[in-house]
Structure 1
Amino acid sequence: KGEADVLLVHSPAAEKKFVAEGYGINRRIVMHNDFIIVGPPTDSAKIKGVKLASEAFKKIASTQALFLSRSDKSGTHTKEMDIWKAAGIKPDGEKWYQQTGLGMGQNLNVTSEKKGYTLTDRGTYLALKKNLGLDILVEGDAILLNIYHVIEVNPAKWPKVNATGAKAFADFMVSKETQEVIKTFGVEKFGSPLFFPDAGKKEE
């Protein structure tokens, strides 16, 4: 609809399609964080330390352990669907698979209350961790990488967008100064950065 001037997003396949269809221009990598699978310390599905996210999802399904999905077509939900696909499982309609339609923070709260499992970005989990009864059970798999790009909305397609402002914001996000801030953001409060700077890196 042309209601935004610039996007900061983390759903690479959708982003590439958006640019290919002429809606966005000048897609640039900004930073990454990662997704983690969290669940109750009791871990009934016994997924703690499993190396592959898809294997963890298989165990959750086979034990019918409660899994709470955001089911909101967000980048996180898209990633979750990618993992189910890699696991060869279609969870929709299963009793143990609950679709909340909530944002990440609320979804984590409900998951904690119900002692279930979910997929989350690490940053939201760390920010809320002290109030959650959830542990990080699976991390580090390549499929769990969460890469952010900045994309300017194409003024040729949407003449009313603020193209100058969009470019200024995008340039700011990939600037050396901002990348330095990204590198240390969260260290003081959480003991580790919430994001890792990537501007200028070559991508496949």
Structure 2
Amino acid sequence: MRPWTRNDLVILGPPSDPAKIKGLKSGIEAFRRIAGAQTPYLDAFNKGGRELSHTLWTKSGLRPRGNWVIKDEGVSAKNIVSYAEKNGAYVVFGRMPVLFGKIAVGKMQIMVEGDPLMRRPYIVMEANPKRIPGANSKGAKMLADFLLSEEAQKFLAEFGADRYGMPLFYPIWPTGSEMP
């Protein structure tokens, strides 16, 4: 199991931006401002969003409490952003579904993006032929090695930047260096 790239989550919010977080590059600072202004925040149960939110709240030194925190009431993933919009709330969500139009965002806007802390890894796993008979372990290793190659990592570093102003993925190559 090896990480081979990352993508990111963003903080979406209403155009009025009552917490004045638009343009920040720090999710922690954004959460401090949201809490300070006690503006609505949707604690949504979505892939990665809830875990990242809890990390940001913990690192901010704050606990989201009060009537400004809206608990997810079983809203489906595809309706989270519209639910946040209906409540005038900020919410953490994946950037790619927003950019690709997979999620209806209404008038909600990306307020905070580009925080390395808000990135999530993609992992490549090679099947263990002892546990999965017939697995193409040689092919799996070749794919994993390619995904971690300089060629693939350079491609990822630029993919989507021309269209979206920043890459859709963040490479991890060269291994051990600070990610861009």
Q: Same fold (TM over 0.5)?
A: yes
Match of 1:86 among 59, 69, 87: 59
Quote the Cα distance in structure 2 between the aligned partners of 1:86 and 1:161: 45
Give the match's secondary structure for 1:81: helix
Match of 1:110 in 2: 83
Match of 1:66 among 40, 56, 63: 40
1:25-174 paired onto structure 2 within 5 Å: 27-72=1-46, 74-91=47-64, 96-99=69-72, 105-128=78-101, 131-152=105-126, 154=128, 158-159=131-132, 162=135, 164=137, 166-174=140-148
Q: Which amino acid is the alignment partner of residue 111 of structure 1?
A: A
Alpha-carbon offset, residue 44 of structure 1: 1.6
Q: Which amino acid is the alignment partner of residue 167 of structure 2?
A: P
Quote the Cα distance in structure 2 between the aligned partners of 1:110 and 1:127: 19
Alpha-carbon offset, residue 90 of structure 1: 3.0
**More helix per residue:** 1
Q: Cα RMSD between the aligned structures?
A: 3.4
Structure 1 unaligned runs (5+)? Answer: 1-26
- For 1:52-105, what per-residue CA distance to the aligned partner results, in whole angstroms no more than 9, with x for missing partners? 322321222233322223325x33322111001112233378552222556755
Maintained 8 Å contact 1:68/1:97: yes
Alpha-carbon offset, residue 39 of structure 1: 0.5
Q: 1:177 to 1:54 in 2, by over 3 A?
A: closer
Q: Which moved more, 1:79-88 or 1:140-149?
A: 140-149
Quote the Cα distance in structure 2 between the aligned partners of 1:71 and 1:98: 9
Count of aligned pairs between the two proteins: 176
Maintained 8 Å contact 1:29/1:150: yes
Quote the Cα distance in structure 2 between the aligned partners of 1:90 and 1:161: 50
TM-score, structure 2 as length reference: 0.72
Matched-pair identity in %? 32
Give the match's secondary structure for 2:51: helix
Maintained 8 Å contact 2:9/2:118: yes
Structure 2 unaligned runs (5+)? Answer: none
